[in-house]
């Protein structure tokens, strides 16, 4: 699934990574979208991010 660039941990399960919902913390992203930061569950390094459309 994802390979961590920091600790080289292979993250195969969705539970191995942290999905941080930035929507309520920054206020930068509006209600129409939800921004997610994917962080390594092993070392905490940020791996990637994405925006999911709100239903």
Quickly tell me which residue has 């390094």 as its tokens: 45
Interface segment toward Zn ion; rule CB under 5 A; list 13-21, 22-30, 31-39, 44-52? 44-52
Residues 3, 13, 43, 50: which binds Zn ion (CB under 5 A)? 43
* Torsion of Cα atoms, 3 then 16 then 40 then 24, to 10°: 130
Considering the complex, what minimum distance in angstroms separates the CB of residue 22 from Zn ion? 20
| Alpha carbon distance 16, 34 (integer Å) | 20
Residues that bind Zn ion (CB under 5 A): 4, 6-7, 9, 40, 42-43, 45
């Amino acid at each position: 699934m994802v390979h961590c660039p920091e600790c080289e941990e292979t993250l195969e399960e969705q539970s191995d990574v942290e999905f941080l919902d930035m929507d309520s913390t920054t206020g930068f992203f509006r209600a129409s979208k939800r921004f997610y930061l994917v962080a390594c569950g092993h070392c905490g390094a940020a791996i990637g991010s994405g925006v999911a459309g709100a239903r």
